[in-house]
Chain A
Amino acid sequence: MPLHPYLFYHQWYKVDLVTAGWLVVTGIAVFIMALVMRSRLDMRSPKGLQNVMEWVFEFTGGMTKDNVGSNTGRRIVAPLAFVILVYLFFSNWLGLILTIEWIPGHNISSLGVAAGTKYSLLNSPTENLNMTMALAILVWFIGHLNGLRHPWHWFKHVFIHMFPMGIIDEVLNPLTHGMRLYGNILAGEVLIEAILRIPKLLGFLPTGLPLLVIWLLYSAFVSTIQAYIFTMLVTLYIGNKDHSDTAHHVA
Protein backbone atom coordinates (compact mmCIF):
# COMPACT_ATOMS: atom_id res chain seq x y z
CA MET A 1 0.00 0.00 0.00
CA PRO A 2 1.42 3.38 -0.94
CA LEU A 3 2.32 5.49 2.05
CA HIS A 4 1.09 9.06 2.23
CA PRO A 5 1.98 12.06 4.32
CA TYR A 6 -0.82 13.26 6.56
CA LEU A 7 -2.06 16.52 7.88
CA PHE A 8 -2.84 16.57 11.62
CA TYR A 9 -1.12 13.20 11.83
CA HIS A 10 -1.56 12.79 15.57
CA GLN A 11 -5.20 13.79 15.70
CA TRP A 12 -8.20 11.54 15.10
CA TYR A 13 -9.19 13.83 12.25
CA LYS A 14 -5.95 13.39 10.30
CA VAL A 15 -6.31 14.11 6.60
CA ASP A 16 -4.53 12.20 3.85
CA LEU A 17 -2.60 14.96 2.12
CA VAL A 18 -2.22 13.15 -1.20
CA THR A 19 -5.90 12.28 -1.42
CA ALA A 20 -6.97 15.75 -0.36
CA GLY A 21 -4.50 17.47 -2.65
CA TRP A 22 -5.38 15.49 -5.75
CA LEU A 23 -9.04 15.79 -4.95
CA VAL A 24 -8.61 19.53 -5.13
CA VAL A 25 -6.65 19.14 -8.36
CA THR A 26 -9.47 16.99 -9.76
CA GLY A 27 -11.91 19.69 -8.78
CA ILE A 28 -9.85 22.36 -10.50
CA ALA A 29 -9.41 20.24 -13.65
CA VAL A 30 -13.10 19.49 -13.85
CA PHE A 31 -13.89 23.15 -13.22
CA ILE A 32 -11.58 24.28 -16.02
CA MET A 33 -13.01 21.69 -18.36
CA ALA A 34 -16.53 22.79 -17.52
CA LEU A 35 -15.59 26.45 -18.08
CA VAL A 36 -14.05 25.65 -21.47
CA MET A 37 -17.08 23.64 -22.44
CA ARG A 38 -19.49 26.34 -21.33
CA SER A 39 -17.62 29.04 -23.23
CA ARG A 40 -17.91 27.03 -26.46
CA LEU A 41 -21.46 25.91 -25.92
CA ASP A 42 -23.13 25.86 -29.30
CA MET A 43 -26.64 24.66 -29.94
CA ARG A 44 -26.34 24.25 -33.69
CA SER A 45 -22.95 22.66 -34.28
CA PRO A 46 -21.55 21.01 -31.16
CA LYS A 47 -17.85 20.23 -31.34
CA GLY A 48 -15.31 18.11 -29.50
CA LEU A 49 -15.62 18.59 -25.78
CA GLN A 50 -19.25 19.56 -25.98
CA ASN A 51 -20.05 16.35 -27.85
CA VAL A 52 -18.36 14.32 -25.13
CA MET A 53 -20.20 16.15 -22.38
CA GLU A 54 -23.49 15.82 -24.22
CA TRP A 55 -22.85 12.14 -24.57
CA VAL A 56 -22.16 11.87 -20.81
CA PHE A 57 -25.30 13.91 -20.16
CA GLU A 58 -27.47 11.61 -22.25
CA PHE A 59 -25.73 8.53 -20.90
CA THR A 60 -26.31 9.40 -17.24
CA GLY A 61 -29.74 10.71 -18.10
CA GLY A 62 -30.59 7.36 -19.69
CA MET A 63 -29.30 5.47 -16.64
CA THR A 64 -31.38 7.67 -14.40
CA LYS A 65 -34.47 7.18 -16.50
CA ASP A 66 -33.98 3.41 -16.48
CA ASN A 67 -33.47 3.07 -12.75
CA VAL A 68 -35.37 5.88 -11.06
CA GLY A 69 -39.14 5.82 -11.31
CA SER A 70 -40.39 9.17 -10.12
CA ASN A 71 -39.81 12.51 -11.75
CA THR A 72 -38.71 14.12 -8.50
CA GLY A 73 -36.21 11.32 -8.00
CA ARG A 74 -34.92 11.80 -11.53
CA ARG A 75 -34.44 15.51 -10.95
CA ILE A 76 -32.24 14.67 -7.98
CA VAL A 77 -30.35 11.74 -9.48
CA ALA A 78 -29.67 13.00 -13.02
CA PRO A 79 -27.24 15.81 -12.06
CA LEU A 80 -25.75 13.64 -9.31
CA ALA A 81 -25.00 10.83 -11.75
CA PHE A 82 -23.57 13.29 -14.27
CA VAL A 83 -21.26 14.93 -11.73
CA ILE A 84 -20.16 11.64 -10.19
CA LEU A 85 -19.32 10.10 -13.54
CA VAL A 86 -17.24 13.08 -14.66
CA TYR A 87 -15.63 13.47 -11.26
CA LEU A 88 -14.76 9.80 -10.83
CA PHE A 89 -13.49 9.52 -14.37
CA PHE A 90 -11.05 12.35 -13.73
CA SER A 91 -9.97 11.15 -10.30
CA ASN A 92 -9.58 7.51 -11.34
CA TRP A 93 -7.30 8.48 -14.18
CA LEU A 94 -5.13 10.84 -12.16
CA GLY A 95 -3.04 8.10 -10.56
CA LEU A 96 -2.19 6.59 -13.94
CA ILE A 97 -0.51 9.66 -15.35
CA LEU A 98 2.64 9.67 -13.24
CA THR A 99 4.12 8.11 -10.20
CA ILE A 100 5.91 10.57 -7.96
CA GLU A 101 7.82 9.20 -5.04
CA TRP A 102 9.41 11.09 -2.28
CA ILE A 103 11.97 9.98 0.26
CA PRO A 104 12.20 12.67 2.92
CA GLY A 105 15.64 13.39 4.32
CA HIS A 106 14.50 13.85 7.90
CA ASN A 107 11.50 13.15 10.03
CA ILE A 108 8.58 15.54 9.81
CA SER A 109 6.50 14.62 12.78
CA SER A 110 3.48 16.82 12.00
CA LEU A 111 3.02 15.13 8.60
CA GLY A 112 3.68 11.65 9.94
CA VAL A 113 6.70 11.33 7.68
CA ALA A 114 9.73 9.27 8.61
CA ALA A 115 13.15 9.77 7.06
CA GLY A 116 14.26 7.23 4.49
CA THR A 117 10.79 5.87 3.73
CA LYS A 118 9.21 6.02 0.27
CA TYR A 119 6.04 8.11 0.04
CA SER A 120 3.82 8.29 -3.00
CA LEU A 121 2.87 11.83 -3.86
CA LEU A 122 0.61 11.13 -6.84
CA ASN A 123 -2.29 8.78 -6.41
CA SER A 124 -5.91 8.94 -7.45
CA PRO A 125 -8.08 10.44 -4.75
CA THR A 126 -10.27 7.36 -5.14
CA GLU A 127 -7.35 5.26 -3.97
CA ASN A 128 -8.31 6.15 -0.38
CA LEU A 129 -11.14 4.17 1.19
CA ASN A 130 -12.38 7.17 3.14
CA MET A 131 -12.86 9.18 -0.02
CA THR A 132 -14.96 6.53 -1.76
CA MET A 133 -16.89 5.80 1.43
CA ALA A 134 -17.69 9.49 1.74
CA LEU A 135 -19.35 9.31 -1.67
CA ALA A 136 -21.10 6.04 -0.91
CA ILE A 137 -22.47 7.34 2.38
CA LEU A 138 -23.62 10.53 0.71
CA VAL A 139 -25.44 8.49 -1.92
CA TRP A 140 -26.91 6.29 0.83
CA PHE A 141 -28.25 9.34 2.62
CA ILE A 142 -29.65 10.86 -0.53
CA GLY A 143 -31.34 7.56 -1.35
CA HIS A 144 -32.98 7.28 2.03
CA LEU A 145 -34.00 10.93 2.20
CA ASN A 146 -35.54 10.56 -1.23
CA GLY A 147 -37.25 7.35 -0.15
CA LEU A 148 -38.61 9.03 2.96
CA ARG A 149 -40.79 11.24 0.81
CA HIS A 150 -43.09 8.24 1.08
CA PRO A 151 -42.38 7.03 4.62
CA TRP A 152 -44.69 4.04 4.62
CA HIS A 153 -43.28 2.70 1.37
CA TRP A 154 -39.80 3.32 2.65
CA PHE A 155 -40.52 1.53 5.92
CA LYS A 156 -42.02 -1.44 4.10
CA HIS A 157 -39.11 -1.62 1.71
CA VAL A 158 -36.42 -1.55 4.39
CA PHE A 159 -37.98 -3.38 7.33
CA ILE A 160 -40.83 -5.57 6.18
CA HIS A 161 -40.26 -6.62 2.62
CA MET A 162 -37.90 -9.64 2.75
CA PHE A 163 -37.45 -8.94 6.45
CA PRO A 164 -33.86 -9.39 7.53
CA MET A 165 -32.41 -8.95 4.07
CA GLY A 166 -33.68 -5.41 3.64
CA ILE A 167 -31.74 -4.17 6.66
CA ILE A 168 -28.60 -6.12 5.78
CA ASP A 169 -28.89 -4.75 2.27
CA GLU A 170 -29.00 -1.20 3.49
CA VAL A 171 -25.81 -1.76 5.48
CA LEU A 172 -23.93 -3.70 2.85
CA ASN A 173 -24.90 -1.59 -0.16
CA PRO A 174 -22.96 1.55 0.76
CA LEU A 175 -20.10 -0.52 2.13
CA THR A 176 -19.60 -2.50 -1.07
CA HIS A 177 -20.38 0.59 -3.12
CA GLY A 178 -17.42 2.45 -1.66
CA MET A 179 -15.07 -0.49 -1.27
CA ARG A 180 -15.49 -1.72 -4.83
CA LEU A 181 -14.20 1.50 -6.29
CA TYR A 182 -11.47 1.86 -3.68
CA GLY A 183 -10.25 -1.70 -4.16
CA ASN A 184 -10.09 -1.52 -7.92
CA ILE A 185 -8.18 1.74 -8.02
CA LEU A 186 -5.88 0.80 -5.17
CA ALA A 187 -5.01 -2.52 -6.82
CA GLY A 188 -4.18 -0.75 -10.05
CA GLU A 189 -1.85 1.73 -8.44
CA VAL A 190 -0.20 -0.68 -6.05
CA LEU A 191 0.66 -2.92 -8.95
CA ILE A 192 2.00 -0.02 -10.97
CA GLU A 193 4.38 0.82 -8.15
CA ALA A 194 5.32 -2.82 -7.79
CA ILE A 195 6.07 -3.10 -11.51
CA LEU A 196 8.18 0.05 -11.32
CA ARG A 197 10.29 -1.64 -8.66
CA ILE A 198 11.25 -4.53 -10.93
CA PRO A 199 15.04 -4.33 -11.11
CA LYS A 200 16.52 -3.26 -14.43
CA LEU A 201 18.45 -5.85 -16.38
CA LEU A 202 22.17 -5.02 -16.47
CA GLY A 203 21.34 -1.86 -14.63
CA PHE A 204 19.55 -0.06 -17.49
CA LEU A 205 17.19 -2.38 -19.45
CA PRO A 206 13.65 -1.79 -18.15
CA THR A 207 12.40 -5.36 -18.13
CA GLY A 208 9.18 -4.34 -16.51
CA LEU A 209 8.23 -1.94 -19.30
CA PRO A 210 6.01 -4.29 -21.36
CA LEU A 211 4.26 -5.40 -18.23
CA LEU A 212 3.84 -1.79 -17.17
CA VAL A 213 2.31 -0.80 -20.50
CA ILE A 214 -0.12 -3.69 -20.37
CA TRP A 215 -1.05 -2.96 -16.79
CA LEU A 216 -1.48 0.77 -17.49
CA LEU A 217 -3.86 -0.01 -20.34
CA TYR A 218 -5.77 -2.41 -18.16
CA SER A 219 -5.88 0.08 -15.31
CA ALA A 220 -7.17 2.74 -17.64
CA PHE A 221 -9.92 0.37 -18.67
CA VAL A 222 -10.70 -0.49 -15.05
CA SER A 223 -10.72 3.19 -14.07
CA THR A 224 -13.26 3.99 -16.73
CA ILE A 225 -15.40 0.96 -15.99
CA GLN A 226 -15.35 1.61 -12.26
CA ALA A 227 -16.45 5.20 -12.76
CA TYR A 228 -19.34 3.85 -14.83
CA ILE A 229 -20.22 1.12 -12.33
CA PHE A 230 -20.17 3.51 -9.40
CA THR A 231 -22.48 5.89 -11.24
CA MET A 232 -24.73 3.05 -12.30
CA LEU A 233 -25.01 1.90 -8.69
CA VAL A 234 -25.79 5.44 -7.58
CA THR A 235 -28.83 5.49 -9.83
CA LEU A 236 -29.73 1.93 -8.83
CA TYR A 237 -29.48 2.42 -5.08
CA ILE A 238 -31.39 5.67 -5.11
CA GLY A 239 -33.89 4.34 -7.63
CA ASN A 240 -34.46 1.21 -5.55
CA LYS A 241 -35.71 3.26 -2.64
CA ASP A 242 -37.58 5.70 -4.84
CA HIS A 243 -41.25 5.01 -4.21
CA SER A 244 -43.81 6.93 -6.07
CA ASP A 245 -47.05 6.21 -7.79
CA THR A 246 -45.24 5.89 -11.11
CA ALA A 247 -42.38 3.83 -9.73
CA HIS A 248 -41.39 0.62 -11.39
CA HIS A 249 -38.99 -1.42 -9.33
CA VAL A 250 -35.70 -2.49 -10.75
CA ALA A 251 -34.15 -5.42 -8.97
Chain B
Amino acid sequence: MGIIEPGTLIFSLLGFLIIYWIIWKVAYKPLSKMMEQRRTYIEDQITSAETSSAEAQKLIEEQRALLEQARSDVREMLDSARARADEQAQGIIAKAQEEANRLLEEGRQMIERERKEAAQEVLTQVADLTVQLTTKLLRNHVTEEAQAAIVKEAERELGELVC
Protein backbone atom coordinates (compact mmCIF):
# COMPACT_ATOMS: atom_id res chain seq x y z
CA MET B 1 0.00 0.00 0.00
CA GLY B 2 2.79 2.36 -0.91
CA ILE B 3 0.66 5.15 -2.29
CA ILE B 4 -2.08 5.15 0.33
CA GLU B 5 -1.20 7.38 3.26
CA PRO B 6 -4.11 7.79 5.64
CA GLY B 7 -2.16 10.36 7.60
CA THR B 8 -1.77 12.62 4.56
CA LEU B 9 -5.42 12.08 3.74
CA ILE B 10 -6.60 13.10 7.18
CA PHE B 11 -4.22 16.03 7.27
CA SER B 12 -5.42 17.20 3.85
CA LEU B 13 -9.02 16.86 4.90
CA LEU B 14 -8.50 18.90 8.05
CA GLY B 15 -6.38 21.39 6.15
CA PHE B 16 -9.04 21.81 3.51
CA LEU B 17 -11.79 22.24 6.10
CA ILE B 18 -9.79 24.97 7.82
CA ILE B 19 -9.01 26.67 4.51
CA TYR B 20 -12.65 26.34 3.52
CA TRP B 21 -13.73 28.01 6.71
CA ILE B 22 -11.18 30.79 6.25
CA ILE B 23 -12.05 31.52 2.63
CA TRP B 24 -15.73 31.30 3.38
CA LYS B 25 -15.35 33.74 6.25
CA VAL B 26 -12.85 36.14 4.70
CA ALA B 27 -13.65 36.06 1.00
CA TYR B 28 -16.92 34.38 0.18
CA LYS B 29 -19.23 35.98 2.71
CA PRO B 30 -18.09 39.60 2.26
CA LEU B 31 -18.05 39.13 -1.50
CA SER B 32 -21.54 37.69 -1.68
CA LYS B 33 -22.81 40.32 0.74
CA MET B 34 -21.23 43.09 -1.29
CA MET B 35 -22.59 41.72 -4.54
CA GLU B 36 -26.06 41.37 -3.07
CA GLN B 37 -25.75 44.94 -1.85
CA ARG B 38 -24.70 46.05 -5.32
CA ARG B 39 -27.58 44.15 -6.85
CA THR B 40 -30.13 45.86 -4.62
CA TYR B 41 -28.39 49.18 -5.14
CA ILE B 42 -28.58 48.84 -8.92
CA GLU B 43 -32.18 47.72 -8.66
CA ASP B 44 -32.99 50.78 -6.54
CA GLN B 45 -31.17 53.02 -8.98
CA ILE B 46 -33.06 51.58 -11.92
CA THR B 47 -36.36 51.92 -10.12
CA SER B 48 -35.69 55.50 -9.12
CA ALA B 49 -34.46 56.33 -12.62
CA GLU B 50 -37.65 54.89 -14.04
CA THR B 51 -39.86 56.84 -11.64
CA SER B 52 -37.98 60.07 -12.23
CA SER B 53 -38.15 59.54 -15.95
CA ALA B 54 -41.89 58.99 -15.72
CA GLU B 55 -42.15 62.11 -13.58
CA ALA B 56 -40.15 64.09 -16.12
CA GLN B 57 -42.42 62.77 -18.86
CA LYS B 58 -45.43 63.87 -16.88
CA LEU B 59 -43.90 67.31 -16.30
CA ILE B 60 -43.13 67.70 -19.98
CA GLU B 61 -46.69 66.71 -20.80
CA GLU B 62 -47.93 69.29 -18.31
CA GLN B 63 -45.65 71.96 -19.74
CA ARG B 64 -46.78 71.16 -23.22
CA ALA B 65 -50.43 71.44 -22.21
CA LEU B 66 -49.69 74.70 -20.45
CA LEU B 67 -47.92 76.08 -23.50
CA GLU B 68 -50.79 75.02 -25.72
CA GLN B 69 -53.20 76.71 -23.34
CA ALA B 70 -51.17 79.92 -23.33
CA ARG B 71 -50.93 79.86 -27.10
CA SER B 72 -54.66 79.48 -27.55
CA ASP B 73 -55.28 82.19 -24.95
CA VAL B 74 -53.06 84.58 -26.83
CA ARG B 75 -54.78 83.71 -30.08
CA GLU B 76 -58.16 84.33 -28.50
CA MET B 77 -57.03 87.61 -27.02
CA LEU B 78 -55.61 88.75 -30.32
CA ASP B 79 -58.78 87.79 -32.12
CA SER B 80 -61.02 89.61 -29.70
CA ALA B 81 -58.78 92.68 -29.75
CA ARG B 82 -58.85 92.68 -33.52
CA ALA B 83 -62.64 92.39 -33.51
CA ARG B 84 -62.94 95.21 -31.02
CA ALA B 85 -60.60 97.40 -33.02
CA ASP B 86 -62.64 96.66 -36.15
CA GLU B 87 -65.81 97.58 -34.34
CA GLN B 88 -64.24 100.75 -33.04
CA ALA B 89 -63.01 101.72 -36.47
CA GLN B 90 -66.44 101.03 -37.90
CA GLY B 91 -67.96 103.27 -35.23
CA ILE B 92 -65.48 106.03 -35.89
CA ILE B 93 -66.08 105.88 -39.59
CA ALA B 94 -69.84 105.92 -39.08
CA LYS B 95 -69.56 108.88 -36.78
CA ALA B 96 -67.38 110.73 -39.23
CA GLN B 97 -69.84 109.98 -42.00
CA GLU B 98 -72.64 111.33 -39.88
CA GLU B 99 -70.69 114.43 -39.00
CA ALA B 100 -69.88 115.03 -42.62
CA ASN B 101 -73.51 114.57 -43.56
CA ARG B 102 -74.58 116.97 -40.88
CA LEU B 103 -72.05 119.55 -41.96
CA LEU B 104 -73.18 119.16 -45.55
CA GLU B 105 -76.78 119.55 -44.54
CA GLU B 106 -76.01 122.65 -42.54
CA GLY B 107 -74.12 124.12 -45.45
CA ARG B 108 -76.93 123.32 -47.75
CA GLN B 109 -79.45 124.97 -45.43
CA MET B 110 -77.28 128.03 -45.03
CA ILE B 111 -76.94 128.34 -48.78
CA GLU B 112 -80.71 128.01 -49.13
CA ARG B 113 -81.32 130.68 -46.54
CA GLU B 114 -78.83 133.03 -48.15
CA ARG B 115 -80.35 132.40 -51.50
CA LYS B 116 -83.80 133.14 -50.12
CA GLU B 117 -82.60 136.30 -48.48
CA ALA B 118 -80.86 137.37 -51.66
CA ALA B 119 -83.99 136.66 -53.66
CA GLN B 120 -86.05 138.66 -51.18
CA GLU B 121 -83.65 141.54 -51.56
CA VAL B 122 -83.72 141.32 -55.28
CA LEU B 123 -87.48 141.13 -55.18
CA THR B 124 -87.77 144.28 -53.13
CA GLN B 125 -85.31 146.08 -55.36
CA VAL B 126 -87.03 144.96 -58.52
CA ALA B 127 -90.40 146.03 -57.13
CA ASP B 128 -89.05 149.43 -56.20
CA LEU B 129 -87.36 149.82 -59.55
CA THR B 130 -90.49 148.75 -61.36
CA VAL B 131 -92.55 151.23 -59.42
CA GLN B 132 -90.10 154.02 -60.14
CA LEU B 133 -90.00 153.01 -63.80
CA THR B 134 -93.72 152.77 -64.05
CA THR B 135 -94.06 156.08 -62.22
CA LYS B 136 -91.79 157.66 -64.73
CA LEU B 137 -93.65 156.11 -67.62
CA LEU B 138 -97.12 156.72 -66.37
CA ARG B 139 -96.47 160.07 -64.77
CA ASN B 140 -99.73 161.65 -63.75
CA HIS B 141 -101.87 158.93 -65.17
CA VAL B 142 -101.84 156.72 -62.13
CA THR B 143 -103.18 157.52 -58.78
CA GLU B 144 -101.57 156.65 -55.54
CA GLU B 145 -104.08 153.91 -54.96
CA ALA B 146 -103.59 152.37 -58.34
CA GLN B 147 -99.88 152.47 -57.89
CA ALA B 148 -100.04 150.73 -54.59
CA ALA B 149 -102.31 148.10 -56.13
CA ILE B 150 -99.90 147.58 -59.00
CA VAL B 151 -96.93 147.26 -56.67
CA LYS B 152 -98.79 144.77 -54.63
CA GLU B 153 -99.76 142.91 -57.77
CA ALA B 154 -96.21 142.91 -59.00
CA GLU B 155 -94.80 141.82 -55.70
CA ARG B 156 -97.20 138.94 -55.58
CA GLU B 157 -96.39 137.88 -59.10
CA LEU B 158 -92.68 138.20 -58.54
CA GLY B 159 -92.94 136.35 -55.33
CA GLU B 160 -94.67 133.57 -57.18
CA LEU B 161 -92.00 133.71 -59.79
CA VAL B 162 -89.22 133.52 -57.29
CA CYS B 163 -90.72 130.95 -55.08
| Interface residues in chain A, defined as those with a beta carbon under 8 Å from any beta carbon in chain B | 6-8, 11-16, 19-20, 23-24, 26-27, 30-31, 33-35, 37-38, 41, 43, 53-54, 57, 79-80, 82-83, 86-87, 125, 128-131, 133-135, 137-138
Contact = CB atoms under 8 A, between A and B. Distances in A.
B15 A20 contact: yes
A138 B26 contact: no
Contacts of A7: 7
Interface in B96-123: none
B3 A23 contact: no
B13 interface: yes
A13 B7 contact: yes
B5 interface: yes
Interface in B17-32: 17-20, 22-24, 26-28, 30-32
Contact of B12 (A6, A19, A34, A82): A19
A233 to B, nearest CB: 16
Contacts of B30: 38, 41
A166 B6 CA distance: 27
A43 B19 contact: no
Contacts of A30: 19, 22-23
Contacts of B23: 30-31, 34, 82-83, 86-87
| B3, B7, B19 — most chain A CB neighbours (10 Å) | B19
